Amino acid sequence: MGEIGANEKKFNRAITIVSVIVPVLVAILFGVKIPNVERLGFLPPIYAGINAVTAVLLLIAVWAIKNGKQKTHRILMMSCIALSVLFLIMYVAYHMTAAPTKFGGQGLMAYAYYFILISHIILSVAIIPLVLKTFARAYSGNFAGHRKLAKITFPIWFYVAVSGVVVYLMISPYY
């Protein structure tokens, strides 16, 4: 196995661990309510905004790499990863201080909301190892493998970011 393969193999164990621990930890923390702490009701529009910024940066990052701007692409992608981590921290903090918000829409709107919400949740779990593996390939210098996986990772990550904003906009009247 060459150096690139060995470097990626080192990452794979950590990626697997993080990809399992993060969703499990989020699920556990969703059940934890911090007593005697004021509800962090100001966070949902902020983390929805973070999702929107992430979606825009993902589009700019694709434009950058297609125009040969590798450094710009790298900075934008690192920013997207950092924003995703920040989103997750705020999202968990909010849910540890607030009761779940019930969607009040009915009929087709409710079906659309729950379809978007469920697909968003499932893909937000799936995107964790995809982002990490795509990053590891670039970091290891396996740019052909990076490009191949990025073609799968990008549309899913973009959907997760955009659908997060849509879910927020649809449920925000019920906060």
Residue-range domain boundaries for the chain: 3-174
Percent of the chain with pLDDT over 90: 81
Q: CA-CA distance, 16 to 128, in Å (whole number)?
A: 9
**Do residues 9 and 1 lie in contact, with contact meaning Cβ atoms separated by under 8 Å?**
yes
Of 1.10.10, 2.60.40, 1.20.120, 2.60.120, the CATH number of 3-174 is 1.20.120
- pTM (2 d.p.): 0.91
Is 51:161 a contact under the CB 8 Å cutoff?
yes
Q: Taking the alpha carbons of 78, 133, 6, 13 in that order, is the dihedral positive or negative?
A: positive
Q: What is the pLDDT of residues 4-43, one digit of tens each?
A: 566 777 889 899 999 999 999 999 988 888 888 888 999 9
Mean pLDDT of 140-147: 94
Q: What is the structure's pLDDT at 136? A: 95
Query: Which DSSP helix (H) or strand (E) runs through 167?
Result: helix 143-171
H/E stretch holding 88 reads: helix 70-97
Quick: pLDDT tens for 53-111: 999 999 999 999 999 999 999 999 999 999 999 999 999 999 999 988 899 999 999 99
Q: How far apart are CA 147 and CA 78, in angstroms?
A: 16
Q: Measuring CA to CA, how many Å separate 110 from each of 49, 101, 103, 121?
A: 23, 14, 8, 16
